[in-house]
Amino acid sequence: MNHQPADPVLRIVAGSKIYGGIHAIDSVDFDLLPGEIHAVLGENGAGKSTMCKAISGAILLSSGDYFLGGRKVSFASPGEALKSGVAMVYQETSLVPSMTVAQNLELGMEKLFTVYRKINIAAQQSQQALNFNVEPLALVETLGTAKRQMVEIARAVRHKARVIIFDEPTASLTPEEIQHLFHLLRSLRAQGVGIIFISHAIEEALNIADRITVLRDGKLVHTGPAAELDRPAVVRMMVGRDVATSHYGEVETDGASEDVVAPKKDRRRVLAVENVTMGSVVKNMSFSVYEGEVVGVAGLVGSGRTEIAHIICGARKRNFLRGGLIYLNGKPIRYRVPRQAVRDGIVYITEDRKLDGFFETMTADDNIYLGYLASPKGKRALFSARQRKVVSDRWVKALSISALKRSLKIIEYSGGNQQKVVVAKSLAQDPSVVIFDEPTRGVDVGAIPQIHAAIRSLAAQGKAVIVISSYLPEILAISDRILVARGGRIAEEMSAAQATEEKIMYAAIH
Amino acid sequence: MSSEAAAAASQPRSGYKPSQAEIVLGVTLVLFVIMSVALPGFITLGNLFTLARNISILGILALGMAVVVIGRGIDLSQIATLGCSAAIAMTMINAGWPVPVALGFGMLLSILMGLANGYLVSVVEIPPLFTTLASGLLIVGVTRALVVPAYQVFLEPGHTNILALGGTIAGGLPAPVIAFAICALLLHLFLSRTVIGRFIYAHGDNALAARLSGIATRPLTMIEYALCSAIGYVGGIIMVGSTSLMHLQIVDSTLIFDVILVVVLGGVSLVGGRGNVLSVIAGTLLIGLLLNAMTIMNLDIQTQDMIKGLVLLLAITIDSIIHPRDEETAKQGD
């Protein structure tokens, strides 16, 4: 079939997948050469996950052909794909936490009787071949994210994968771990493995990939060597318009600079956290938040930044607080349930909207109105369709939620609109302190500036705003003051003017 | 198998999607027509009234259960609660207490038991399945030890008011049907028009999000379970009205299974947050029809159980084909 110079190990020809009449991907042509790192970029909902699910056998293409090593294939399950040498390393790792590393490596290819000594030795060997350092007898649940990912990769290699798909592999890794991962990807490439690399982080893709494919609204926009591209060009292709080049960094701050004035001396301290300790995650954490400012909290996953937010707003179910005090407007507070925090005007906007953000069976209007009803000023006995319209109209307009079909359930909205609805649901409660946790995670590039503008305007209205984010350009773009959390305490505080990505990263790691 | 077939299957679904309740109503109608033709003695007024009377009590119990299931819980102690509180109320009436006081006391008891269930589920955080399994057993044990040593309590003759609840009104329409209709209407208004009703949906849809939004989920859970027992108690009193006795054997019967079958069949998903009063009515009609037909055909219990089990499996299968959960999340691409 293929008589090109280097035969692609994998080819999709005019692949389409249709969900309920809508094309998730629309006649996409994709090919992967052996020994190549091929990055797939695109906004959420652009179809990159759908394409990779089709490649890894999790779903079937509605139409189009799928060639693997020149042979036409059609996989009914990921297991079949794995047997043919196509492996996927998932965002949320798919290991069994209660088993050892060796057992996990063996998963799915066990003999009738497992000889533990043999699989342990095999695990040791495969780890060494990949230059890993993971104890084969360790339970997976005791490992950190980075090591789990290594185990997943080792498993893919052990299944003699010719194609490995990485879905957002760097999302929760430290910079050092990312470097290690990239090193590993390069060595896999040298062994002739074809690698598909899905990421939101454009810089990483530009850095590691040989070729880049950009998808937008299910269609292929561009495929070409990474060397010919730069960040603005990629963003332009992802979004399909030019505005998004101004969504991070310098340009954004000059848009907001009118309200970023020098810290006023007479600002009221709204929230004060003093020496709060909880378990081993939060240790002696102290900081203050003043009215009318955005405080950015940076730090690695596990640095205690999300946990302190949970403590402040009462979201922790079992509260093993070991001391310390939190003051709201000078009064000590300690909430056991979020309802008490909402009553006092503190809202927390979750980092995982699917888990505890929105009500999936309901429309956007219902979601926003329920937020209003749960707040003290929304207390009433009867559900009013008229009031629902008034409340939700206000927020749909304020956050420019594109609600062409207001009767749609929220689960059918795009990531950006879902996030805006979750934000609206909390802002409808008229809070005085707003805590955002990863406000733009899984949000389409186009919606990010709108959410940032909403955050800035909250501060302009005199509210105290805390933004927790792993994405440093975001922290730099919207904060007045930046706190860096490390190992359960605030390691460093800097003003937005002094801060740079390097400084923050340095404080977060060392 | 082939990708073309998959495309064809997913292509035309763009417009109207019938809800599970509507499908069940349709199936019921078809079944009704078939049975009218095929079964002699089915389409007589007498049989239809019997049918209506039998399903009404089941329907009332299912309404109560639906509240808990919408809130993503389940109450296996519902029958025990209603049996015991009704039996205690009957014992009080037999002992000479005024009827309203005795009935009110029974209602109070059932609400308290519901609150206790809700407390255990929401505050102590025991899974509802285990909580209510254990509490049902406990309730029956305590009641039998203290109040009703025999398995059954007969209502002494002369209490025409209570018996009227199980009787018929003008035209031969059974009173339980009226009671079912009233309960259904009230519950519908509660679930769709009150804020607490909407909160129950929110709670069942995503309990964590409800909590984080500032909804008081613990009291809400207690309200759900209390409503379930209270509505169940109404069904229990009507049961007494129909038979003039409360036999605690019903706790050990498959009645609780029938109630859950009705609820799930109509489309009140065990996932929570889905379904409404119409779902319960649809499920009640279908199950009532099936039970009646099986009785007329004189099928033995084993065959009846097999048919009931198959129907439930079928309903769940159809539901997962119409509302494919994986495809919905896959559409978002993240």
How far is A375 from A426, CA to CA, in rounded Å? 9
Low-confidence ranges of chain B (pLDDT < 50): 1-14, 326-334
pLDDT-derived band at A139, boundaries 50, 70, 90: confident
User: Helix or strand or coil: residue A163?
Assistant: strand
Residue A251 lies in a domain: no
Name the range with the highest mean pLDDT among A60-69, A264-273, B96-105: B96-105
Do A213 and A73 lie in one domain? The reply is: yes
Say whether both A190 and A59 belong to one domain: yes
Q: Do residues A232 and A294 both lie within one domain?
A: no
Say if A21 falls within a structural domain. yes
For chain B, say whether A373 makes contact (Cβ under 8 Å). yes
Which amino acid, A167? D
| A229 and A280 co-located in one domain | no
Query: Chain centroid to CA A351: how far?
Result: 8
Residue A276 and residue A237 share a domain: no
Q: Is residue A2 part of a domain?
A: no
Across the interface, which of B198, B331, B333 has its CB nearest the CB of A412? B331
| Chain B, nearest residue to A92 by Cα | B334
Banded pLDDT at A319 (limits 50, 70, 90): low
- Of all residues in chain A, what percent carry a pLDDT higher than 90? 27
Tell if the CB–CB gap between A315 and B211 is shorter than 8 Å: yes
Q: Which of residues 441-500 of A touch B (CB under 8 A)?
A: 442
Last residue of a domain, one of A246, A279, A294: A246
What's the distance, CA B8 to chain centroid? 38
Asked if residue A6 has pLDDT above 60, the reply is: yes
Q: Poorest-confidence range of A155-164, A172-181, B227-236?
A: A172-181
Task: Verify that A229 and A307 share a domain, yes or no.
Answer: no
The last residue of a domain, from among A192, A216, A246: A246
Task: Let me know if residue A260 belongs to a domain.
Answer: no
Q: What share of chain A is helix, strand, coil (3-state, %, to 5)?
A: 40, 25, 35
Q: What pLDDT sits at residue A255?
A: 39
Same domain, A177 and A232: yes
A231 & A304 share domain: no
Q: Which of residues 195-254 of B touch A (CB under 8 A)?
A: 195-199, 201-202, 205-206, 208-218
Residue with tokens 């509507």, as numbered in its chain: B22
Position A486 scores a pLDDT of 86
Task: Return the residue in A347, A352, A382 with the most chain B beta carbons within 10 A, the one to mutate for interface testing.
Answer: A382
Task: Tell me, yes or no, whether A486 lies in a domain.
Answer: yes
Q: What is the pLDDT of residue A404?
A: 63
Q: How confident is the model at residue A421 (pLDDT cuts 50, 70, 90)?
A: very high
B231 within 8 A of B56, measured Cβ to Cβ: no
Residue B196: predicted pLDDT: 96
CB contact under 8 A, A61 and B193: no
Domains by residue range for chain B, with CATH: 46-319 (1.10.3470)
Is residue A262 assigned to a domain?
no
d(CA A138, CA A142): 7
For the cut 80, the answer to whether the pLDDT of residue A321 exceeds it is no
pLDDT of residue A464: 95
Top-confidence residue, A274 or A155: A274
In a domain, A297, yes or no: yes
DSSP one-letter code for A34:
T
Same domain, A35 and A118: yes
What is the C-alpha to C-alpha distance for residues A51 and A59, in angstroms, rounded to an integer?
A: 9
Which pLDDT belongs to residue A79?
Answer: 80
The domain of A209 spans 10-246
CB-nearest partner of A20 from B14, B196, B329: B14
CATH classification of the domain holding A485? 3.40.50.300
Residues linked to residue A486 through DSSP beta bridges, in sequence order: A489
B321 inside 8 A of chain A by CB? no
Tell me, what's the pLDDT at A244? 38
Q: Identify the pLDDT of residue A27.
A: 85
Question: Is residue A340 assigned to a domain?
Answer: yes
- Residue-wise pLDDT tens digits, A181-240: 888 888 888 888 899 988 777 788 888 899 999 888 788 888 889 888 887 788 778 776
Strands A219-225, A71-72: pairing is unpaired
Token digits of residue B67: 């509240």
pLDDT digits (tens, 9 = 90+) for A377-396: 888 999 999 999 999 999 99
Specify whether A230 is located in the same domain as A309: no
In SS3 terms, A312-366 reads as HHCCCCCCCEEEEEEEECCEEECCCCHHHHHHCCEEEECCCHHHHCCCCCCEHHH
Cα B70 to Cα A451: distance, rounded to the nearest angstrom: 33
- The ipTM estimated for the assembled molecules is 0.86
| B3 with A425: Cβ contact below 8 A | no
- Amino acid symbol at A421: V
Considering the domain architecture, whether residues A24 and A150 belong to the same structural domain is answered as yes
pLDDT of residue A5: 53
Which is more confidently placed, A497 or A171? A497
Question: How many Å is the Cα radius of gyration of chain A?
Answer: 24
> What sign has the CA pseudo-torsion A19, A24, A26, A28?
negative
Domains: count for chain A: 2
- pLDDT computed for residue B3 by the predictor: 41
Residue A270 — very low, low, confident or very high, per pLDDT cuts 50/70/90? very high
Above pLDDT 70, what percent of chain A?
Answer: 88
In the predicted model, what is the mean pLDDT of chain A? 82
Q: What's the rounded Cα separation, in Å, for the pair B135 and B140?
A: 9
My answer on whether A277 and A242 are in the same domain is no
- Evaluate if residue A245 carries a pLDDT over 90: no
